[in-house]
């Protein structure tokens, strides 16, 4: 009798460390293929922000991996913004969604890998209402009034942070 009453308590205590970790990402992906030192590679493309995340293993002990957000095309019109993760401090408590976890092993040092976390903050965009002809139209005058009145819908945002895990092979 006593053993069955302790079981729920033991299960609750055993699950506590899992609650403190990051939530499960929206995108479930396997570990990437190992990348060579000095070879630039695309980690993820985000078409809504007209950007891609590019990384490179440097081979330097001080900064073993470097990543940057690169614009995909000068003609692309972004529907979302990419913001600095250090300034935005994404978390589920502030409305951000843990979108993706990208793990890239170092081909020259199998014990080392770069881990990039991508966060997404949904915007408040909605489709415009249909007019009398059944078309969704956006009028310049209405948009100007909304902008002046600070009533524009929030646009989606993305942020990425990176950490290097494992030991250096030098």
- Report residue 12's pLDDT band, with 50, 70 and 90 as the boundaries: very low
- What pLDDT digit, counting tens, does each position of 15-68 carry? 334 344 668 999 989 999 999 999 999 999 999 999 999 999 998 888 999 999
pTM of the entire structure? 0.72
CB within 8 A of 122, min separation 6: which ones? 95, 97, 156
Number of H helices and E strands in the chain, helices first, is 3, 7
- What pLDDT digit, counting tens, does each position of 108-122 carry? 988 999 999 999 999
The three-class DSSP label of residue 10 is helix
Strands 41-46 and 65-71: what pairing?
Answer: unpaired
Separation of alpha carbons 84 and 79, rounded Å: 17
């Amino acid at each position: 009798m006593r053993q069955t009453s302790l079981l729920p308590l033991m299960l609750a205590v055993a699950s506590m460390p899992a609650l403190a970790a990051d939530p499960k990402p929206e995108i479930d992906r396997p570990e990437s293929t190992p990348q060579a030192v000095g070879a630039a590679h695309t980690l993820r493309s985000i078409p809504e922000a007209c950007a891609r995340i590019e990384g490179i293993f440097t081979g330097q002990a001080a900064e073993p991996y470097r990543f940057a957000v690169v614009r995909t095309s000068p003609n692309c019109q972004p529907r979302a913004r990419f913001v600095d993760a250090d300034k935005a401090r994404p978390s589920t408590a502030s409305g951000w969604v843990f979108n993706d976890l990208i793990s890239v092993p170092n081909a020259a040092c199998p014990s080392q890998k770069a881990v990039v976390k991508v966060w997404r903050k949904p915007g408040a965009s909605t489709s415009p209402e249909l007019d009398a002809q059944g078309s969704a139209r956006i009028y310049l005058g209405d948009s100007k009034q909304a902008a002046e009145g600070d009533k524009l819908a929030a646009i989606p945002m993305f942020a990425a942070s990176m950490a290097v895990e494992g030991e250096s092979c030098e």
